[in-house]
Structure 1
Amino acid sequence: MMLMTRERRPLRRTGLMSEFDRIHNLVDELMNEVFGSWVTPSLTTTTTPTQTPAWLPYVNMWQSGNELVVEFYLPGVPKDSIELNVTEDTLTLSGKCPTPWGNNTPTIYRYEFPHGEFYRQMTLPFSVNPEKVSAKFENGVLRVTLTPISSTSKSHKVQIS
């Protein structure tokens, strides 16, 4: 899902209509600041009651031939802070994206990049073999390739290359 924002052109309205325009612009800004483009969970995404993620990465999922491919958009996230677990019917991704300033406390004028902890658990569209999963992290995109199978449900921790 792509979130599109519209650019407002100044209108030369006066009176009541100018106030409506001002309120509309304020609501748009508030919605973008509160929800942003990073908090767009799909219907198949859940978070656990004990975890409140700071942000949710974008996800693409498609079937190509006999494989299910899932991509997560994780800009700025170090590979070693990503954890990926797969069961027969569920894919779980968690991790943390640090702030660029570390432990320092700078004066921030605008900061829209995602940071903090993330957690996504997705129900897969069909059963997969948790032991036949590959994952590659390149240019801020984690690509997970899964193979369908019918077997007993087990969890398997996936190494990311």
Structure 2
Amino acid sequence: MNVLFVCLGNICRSPLAEAAFRQQCPDISCDSAGTSDWHVGEPPYAPMQTAARARGLDLSDLRARQFTRDDFTRFTHIFAMDENNLMQIEALRPAGNTTPVRLFAPYARDGLTDVPDPYYTRDFEEVLDLVDRAVRSLAIAMRA
């Protein structure tokens, strides 16, 4: 089982989800990516790293990369942080590929479809809380 978390730039939401999921499920392989190439090779956004570190999550070793068509064969589960990312991922789907691509936020079970982007909202705590709830629920689902 391989899990991929995808957001826009791979500097806030998806690396946070990757780190949180690794902490909850160290036995399940995971990674993160962005649908854009704006930050390829860069570490996660500094304010996101600071907020995550305060909650015991270390993002410092992660580097942004862009989602590619190959990710459909490399991963068994792909989770998009918002509907726009989901559409961009699906636009790259190879013909005949059946890898499930789902929205991540619904796993938090609070009625949201999208994980808000803290790069724009500046509400890192809200995103940390949402990702924590979603990861806990996803971890249970993955082990079922």
Task: Please say whether Structure 1 and Structure 2 have the same fold, judged by a TM-score greater than 0.5.
Answer: no
Bigger proportion of residues as helix? 2
Q: Which has the larger radius of gyration?
A: 1
Query: TM-score under structure 2 normalisation?
Result: 0.23
TM-score computed with the length of structure 1 as normaliser: 0.22
Higher strand share: 1
